[in-house]
Structure 1
Amino acid sequence: MRILTGATWTLEQPRRPAPQMGTRRIEALSSLFAIAALAVVAAPIVMEQSTDGTSSDRAAAPAGAPSAYAPAGGEFMFAGYSGVPYTYPSDVSIKKTGVHDFTVKEVEWEGKPFVNPIYYGARIVRWLGTGRIGTMLDFTHSKTISRFDQEAAFTGTIDSAPAPEKAVIRSVFRKLEASHGHNMLTLNGLFRLPSFTPRIYPYVGLGAGVSLPHSEVQMANSEKRTYEYQMAGAVGQALVGIELRTARVSYFFEYKFTLAPYLMPLSERDGSLLFYDLWRQFSDWLSGEEPPGGRLTTNLVSHQVVGGLGIRSAPAVAAP
């Protein structure tokens, strides 16, 4: 039941259903992926530390061979990381012909990086030539969850009626988040800056790619929800970091800035696997079918501070 009185607007909310088995399974898989990514790159450390950097190892190195700690071209690095994001408040707009055409002003987003599913990332880095320039394929699993206790300003129409001037987010939405992933997949160019020690190398990077969020949107007065992976648009990122190199393992600390303009089709269906959900979205687009719930737009601008470690392949050494 909806009650309109002056500038206030409230809804009697139906009881929220218990989490579905599919939700629990997605949460468990995402956590296992994060743990596995970190465990795989951490495994060699114990074996490495017993010999890393000892004088006997240096003495055994053939004359003219490149240092194990200097950047070298032709090497790969496979890495995992975790971190803490901050996403600026942004306007959220929903348009559905003849039903909704409204904007929520300055929605505040929470990242909750250490609440399941946690913040994590994985990447593949390839350094070229002299080792100063490289490329990186980077996947980041962040989160954006609206603060349901926030009182926000509204403009436009909801259910063909004027929207309230102000309302608490939870009185309008049951769900407004990407908690199974404000996911970003980017291809980046990297450039190493001059080093001030033999083991520590600063670097910068710039890249672009696609946003692949798990969109979770549901109006408070509707039993239908959008709960699936989607391609929501392009994403860009800039980064600056520092790499601490040992013989075969690198530790890195990094600041990333990301910009992701979202366009979410509100399909009002529950999805399953990423590739299957994306195929259904593509099929809908190909058929020209409009999403039954309309479309949601917003711009997510984030700061992210991350730390991680990676295993490097040994670069080729020319024969004497």
Structure 2
Amino acid sequence: MRHLIASTLAAVLCGGLAAPAAAEFELDFYMGAQSAASSRAEGDRPGGGTYGTTFDWEGRSFEMPFYYGLRGTWWRSETFGWGVEGTHTKVYAPRDERDAAGFDRFELSDGHNIITVNALRRWPDGWQGLTPYVGAGVGFAMPHVDVEPAGGGPRTYGFEVTGPAARLFAGARYAVTERWSVFGEVQATWSDNTADLDGGGTLETEIVTQAVNLGIGYSF
């Protein structure tokens, strides 16, 4: 997956940098339904010992704090652009799996925040007034780590930069006015996370999320 993301981003960036500049900036806000693939989490326990288990992560998109994202894109031409994006994804360990692993809390829930630099390709008015687009980005993960061992051990509760991240997305946009638009898309993110836990512990896990997004955009 890493090689696919890198090659896709390089191809889109090369095309965008070769294109003539155009004065258009697009700001997008979206929400949607986000889930996460199962993955193994392992590390050292605070206070001693090790752990390792596979969690069937829950996304809980429509529970506070909600899943959402912001994206800014500078379109250098009619078809190529680049920009930045931040997505507030979330993952929770199911209660039974968390308890079996010996934790009272195990989640990245006040944002498993994914921040990337993106490259995008679009096809203006490609079909029935819709503008299809695809994009890829690379950056880093900065989750709010909330982990507490069972039995009253030290609770980890704070933001950390935990490792590299990437995203892929594709969708279509419809212009409502010259400035405003609406869009729908599918998006996936990947991150390789290593977090420090209070009390001398660690957490290592790869997180892959999938989402269906609906949003609104403004161009200027």
In the superposition, the TM-score normalised over structure 2's length comes to 0.84
Contact 2:45 2:51 in 1 (8 A): no
Residue by residue over 1:117-157, the C-alpha shift from the partner in whole angstroms, topping out at 9 and shown as x without a partner, is: 1111111111013x10001211101110110123xxxxxxx
Among 179, 182, 206, the residue aligned to 1:248: 179
Contact 2:37 2:57 in 1 (8 A): yes
Q: Which has the larger radius of gyration?
A: 1
**Size of the alignment, in residue pairs?**
198
**Structure richer in strand, relative to its length:** 2
Separation in 2 of the partners of 1:95 and 1:213?
19
Q: Quick check: 1:301 aligned with 2:194?
A: no
Separation in 1 of the partners of 2:171 and 2:178?
19
The residue aligned with 2:72 is 124
The residue aligned with 1:95 is 44
Separation in 1 of the partners of 2:83 and 2:33?
21
- Secondary structure, counterpart of 2:145 in structure 1: strand
Contact 2:73 2:82 in 1 (8 A): yes
Separation in 1 of the partners of 2:88 and 2:200?
26
The residue aligned with 2:14 is none
The residue aligned with 2:108 is 178
Q: Which amino acid counterpart does residue 115 of structure 1 have in structure 2?
A: E
Q: Which runs of 5+ in 1 are unaligned?
A: 1-71, 151-168, 269-291, 314-320
- Secondary structure, counterpart of 2:99 in structure 1: helix
Shift of 1:82: 0.2
Q: Quick check: 1:215 aligned with 2:145?
A: yes
Q: Quick check: 1:137 aligned with 2:44?
A: no
1:224–1:97 distance in 2 versus 1, CA, 3 Å: closer
Shift of 1:94: 1.5
- Secondary structure, counterpart of 2:95 in structure 1: coil
Among 193, 197, 214, the residue aligned to 1:262: 193
Shift of 1:234: 0.7
Shift of 1:100: 1.8
Q: Which runs of 5+ in 2 are unaligned?
A: 1-20
Q: Quick check: 1:82 aligned with 2:31?
A: yes
Separation in 2 of the partners of 1:310 and 1:196?
18
Taking only aligned residues, the RMSD between alpha carbons, in angstroms, comes to: 1.8
Q: Quick check: 1:107 aligned with 2:55?
A: yes
Shift of 1:96: 5.2
Identity %: 32
Q: Which amino acid counterpart does residue 170 of structure 2 have in structure 1?
A: V
Separation in 2 of the partners of 1:181 and 1:310?
22
**Structure richer in helix, relative to its length:** 1
1:116–1:98 distance in 2 versus 1, CA, 3 Å: closer
Q: Which amino acid counterpart does residue 137 of structure 1 have in structure 2?
A: V
Q: Which amino acid counterpart does residue 99 of structure 1 have in structure 2?
A: G
Q: Which amino acid counterpart does residue 128 of structure 1 have in structure 2?
A: R
Contact 1:193 1:204 in 2 (8 A): no
The residue aligned with 2:9 is none
Q: Which amino acid counterpart does residue 258 of structure 1 have in structure 2?
A: T
Separation in 2 of the partners of 1:83 and 1:296?
28
Residue by residue over 1:98-118, the C-alpha shift from the partner in whole angstroms, topping out at 9 and shown as x without a partner, is: 8222211x2011111111111
Residue by residue over 1:209-228, the C-alpha shift from the partner in whole angstroms, topping out at 9 and shown as x without a partner, is: 11010000111023311000
Contact 2:103 2:149 in 1 (8 A): yes
